[in-house]
Amino acid sequence: MKALLCKTIGGPDDLVVEEVSAPSLGPDEVRIEVHACGVNFPDVLMVQGKYQVKPELPFSPGLEVAGDIAEIGSAVEGFNVGDRVIAMTGFGGMREEIVVHAGRCLTMPDEMDYETAASFVLTYGTSYHGLVDRGYLSSGEKVLVLGAAGGVGTAAIDIAHRLGAEVIAAGGSDEKLSQLKALYGVSETINYNEEGPELRERVKAMTDGRGADVIYDPVGGTAFQQALRCVNWNGRILVVGFAADSENLPKAATNLLLLKGSSLIGVFWGRFSEIESDRNRANFDRLFQWYAAGELKPNISHRFPLAEGAEALKVLMRREVVGKCVVTLRD
């Protein structure tokens, strides 16, 4: 079978497509014929050696896949050969077959295609967990979404609208913000690359001087520092990631949290899904219901075949993606 391999730490240009042997199957595992693999920023960091997870070389990038179960281990219950599933792999998804623990799989909704399924779990799982479980976002509240055009950003907008919240979308280019208006009907936007220190004033102006009730931040950097200054009383600042600079993490001025009575809250969906797996599955039951009802609109802006998997990582690095990018492996 073919696989996109990282054989040396470096970057996307160092990735190669090669034939590899099929992995063996354990009793608690399933073998999946991969149809599509979602591309995420941790994939980029992993091949650069900058992510907290450092797989043994050689490895395939790819944290989430969708496909068909081709074989099940002797101790597996709840799945059958032929089932369409989504799996969180951690890494290794950009190959024609993958073996994963059955506990990492979810049954795909009938209404969902493979590409959407492969791009759904990480971003919508993270954003639902952040906004609902950690941020307690409620109808009528105002949420500021930083990095709004990215995968978790667009998912956060989608979920916030479904919850009845009002969204301020902040991104790095007018072109991307225009696309968000067209895709999700966002009416209030901020280009923080142009407005920089003015972000606080813009948010205050959009909230009658109060500030945002919830701030969803997968970006970090200077945007995080501005966000600390434009949160409402009793507001919640959700720390989701550090796409701006994963090596120089921002520091919080705790006096600002005190003065606003606000909370700084970490959002680590991957760990949550392991420790509180029942709650995580309940979250996806709800998300899949919303999707089946046409109430969520995941966006895939870029698609690449496996042979061009390196290019998929490059468009992510160049910040060209709005929503998600997917590598396809089967028709």
Pair 193, 322 in one domain: no
User: How far apart, in whole angstroms, are the C-alpha atoms of residue 195 and residue 2?
Assistant: 46
282 vs 95: CA distance, rounded Å: 29
**Measured between alpha carbons, how far is 57 from 221 in angstroms, rounded to an integer?**
31
Q: What percent of the chain has pLDDT over 70?
A: 97
Residue 285, domain member (yes or no): no
Q: How high is the pLDDT of residue 331?
A: 74
66 inside domain: yes
Indicate if 153 and 37 belong to the same structural domain.
Answer: no
Q: Which of 268, 285, 320 is the last residue of a domain?
A: 268
Task: Looking at the structure, tell me whether residues 155 and 19 fall in a common domain.
Answer: no
- The residue from 223, 249, 268 where one domain ends is 268
Confidence of residue 222 (pLDDT cuts 50, 70, 90): confident
SS3 label, residue 235:
strand
Domain check: are 106 and 146 in the same one? no
Does some domain include residue 242? Answer: yes
Residues 135 and 244 in one domain: yes
CA distances, 134 to each of 18, 29, 149, 218 (Å): 42, 31, 22, 14
Boundary (domain end) residue, out of 268, 286, 318 = 268
Residue at 293 is within a domain: no
Give the 3-state secondary structure of residue 82: coil
**Same domain for 164 and 90:** no
Structural domain count of the chain: 2
User: Is residue 198 in some structural domain?
Assistant: yes
**Is residue 103 very low, low, confident or very high in pLDDT (cuts 50, 70, 90)?**
very high
Q: How confident is the model at residue 244 (pLDDT cuts 50, 70, 90)?
A: low
Structural domain contains residue 279? no
Co-location of 66 and 141 in the same domain: no
- Is residue 178 one of the residues assigned to a domain? yes
Same structural domain for residues 247 and 188?
yes
- Same domain, yes or no, for 109 and 144? no
Q: Mean pLDDT across the chain, nearest whole number? A: 93
**Domain range spanning residue 66?**
2-120+298-328
- Unique residue bearing structure tokens 């500021």: 144
* Structure-token pair, residue 317: 């690095």
Say which range, 171-175, 292-296, 297-301, has the weakest mean pLDDT: 171-175
Let me know whether 186 and 53 are in one domain: no
Classify residue 200: in a domain, yes or no.
yes
